């Protein structure tokens, strides 16, 4: 990097000049790649009803459908400047798509089981899935595990997954503190999830003060854990997450669609918790536009544009355990880059705000390890 005169110009290396703001590639800390092509945003009267819709959509999705969906999601992310994605899924399609396309990410294999009696079979299936995923994961793909959420995972399954993750050094992600319905189940043993468990003969969880305290009590938190949403987390919860060494994935667009409220960004910032932004699924918000998510969170804590860009890149990388490889433009890290259009004469002090206001077409080029994976002017040779 530097002025043209200071940059080497090897004769055998193609040169490419582009005008715009050059940023580290964006890091999407939470997505469901396999759901991308299953339809646009879908609303239902309640979050419980929406979850049932997602379950039915997944069941109707063939393996090839899921793979096509994940491929489309990876390419869509590149168009929005996303070079790394933390994907949560059940089918393994996200890993296969990233591997096939040469993408980068962490793929968390979901595990479900609200009934403690399901733990032995659930863990046997999970270990088999993890082994299979690791055997075919591309060089840029890390395999992790995801005990889905308090309304779909028993306390004993949280403990078993944590033990597996510790034993095999696997990163963990979980949906947590997302909705009022989740809190109703964990805190009071009431609500639609509690009614579903009762109909299925599943014992209700022992009450806890909050969902975060419930998962902490069951041994589910740890330094390799990414907590997704954290909308209902209060100060005591955030202290627990900080002390456990967790990272956070905030999804304000999805939270708004489902009426969950907004994440407590100011309180998270005060505690120094590493956090990034996620786009969740196309069934919630449509296209994976992290700049849209950044604009939503912009006013929640009075953060400067430079700070928000930090949480789209370096802090997001740290939250998913890849801070040593990506997130900044510096020697020793991967050349994951995005070029965003800005007026050529714009003062440097105004550039961060202009980048946050980027429309989809303003992402001019995206590079993954120096390889151009998106270009609004295709057919131009060269790397940056």
Which tens digits make up the pLDDT trace of 192-243? 999 999 999 999 999 999 999 999 999 999 999 999 999 999 999 999 999 9
Looking from the CA of 363 toward its CB, the CA atoms found within 13 Å total 27
Model confidence pLDDT, tens digit, residues 24-47: 999 999 999 998 877 666 666 788
Cα(89)–Cα(174) distance, integer angstroms:
11
Q: How many CB atoms lie within 10 A of CB 118?
A: 18
**379 token code pair:** 């057919």
CA-to-CA dists, residue 200 to 121, 193, 204, 334, angstroms? 18, 11, 11, 49
Q: Are 100 and 140 in contact (CB under 8 A)?
A: no
- Supply the CATH classification number for the domain 26-332: 3.20.20.140
Is the Cβ–Cβ distance between 289 and 82 less than 8 Å? no
**Per-residue model confidence (pLDDT) at position 40:** 66
Span 270-305, pLDDT tens digits: 999 999 999 998 888 889 999 999 999 988 888 999
Give pLDDT, residue 180. 94
Among 260, 241, 219, which residue's Cα sits nearest to residue 46?
A: 260
Q: Residue written as tokens 């863990």?
A: 123
Least confident of 204-208, 266-270, 343-347: 343-347
Q: What pLDDT score does 139 carry?
A: 95
């Amino acid at each position: 990097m530097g002025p043209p005169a200071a940059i080497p110009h090897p004769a055998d290396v193609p040169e490419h000049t582009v005008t715009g703001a050059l940023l580290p590639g964006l890091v999407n800390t939470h997505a469901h790649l396999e759901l991308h092509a299953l339809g646009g945003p879908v609303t239902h009267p309640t979050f419980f009803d929406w979850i049932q819709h997602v379950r039915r959509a997944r069941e109707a999705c063939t393996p090839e459908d899921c793979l096509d969906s994940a491929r489309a999601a990876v390419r869509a992310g590149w168009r929005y400047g996303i070079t790394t994605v933390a994907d949560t899924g059940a089918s393994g399609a996200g890993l296969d798509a990233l591997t096939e396309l040469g993408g980068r990410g962490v793929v968390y294999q979901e595990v479900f089981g609200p009934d403690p009696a399901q733990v032995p079979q659930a863990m046997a299936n999970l270990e088999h899935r993890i082994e299979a995923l690791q055997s075919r994961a591309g060089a840029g793909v890390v395999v992790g595990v995801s005990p889905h959420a308090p309304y779909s995972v028993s306390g004993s399954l949280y403990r078993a997954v944590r033990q597996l993750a510790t034993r095999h050094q696997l990163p963990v992600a979980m949906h947590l503190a997302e909705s009022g319905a989740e809190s109703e189940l964990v805190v009071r043993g009431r609500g639609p999830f509690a009614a579903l468990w009762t109909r299925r003969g599943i014992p209700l969880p022992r009450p806890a003060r909050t969902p975060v305290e419930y998962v902490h009590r069951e041994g589910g938190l740890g330094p390799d854990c990414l907590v997704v949403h954290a909308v209902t987390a209060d100060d005591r919860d955030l202290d627990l997450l900080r002390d456990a060494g967790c990272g956070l994935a905030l999804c304000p667009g999805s939270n708004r669609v489902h009426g969950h409220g907004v994440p407590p960004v100011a309180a998270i910032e005060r505690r120094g918790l590493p956090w990034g932004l996620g786009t969740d699924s196309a069934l919630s918000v449509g296209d994976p536009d992290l700049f849209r998510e950044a604009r939503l969170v912009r006013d929640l804590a009075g953060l400067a544009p430079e700070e928000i860009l930090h949480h789209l890149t370096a802090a997001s990388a740290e939250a998913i355990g890849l801070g040593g490889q990506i997130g900044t433009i510096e020697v020793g890290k991967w050349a994951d880059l995005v070029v965003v259009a800005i007026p050529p004469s714009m003062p440097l002090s105004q550039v961060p705000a202009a980048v946050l206001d980027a429309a989809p077409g303003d992402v001019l080029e995206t590079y993954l390890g120096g390889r151009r994976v998106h270009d609004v002017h295709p057919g131009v040779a060269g790397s940056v």
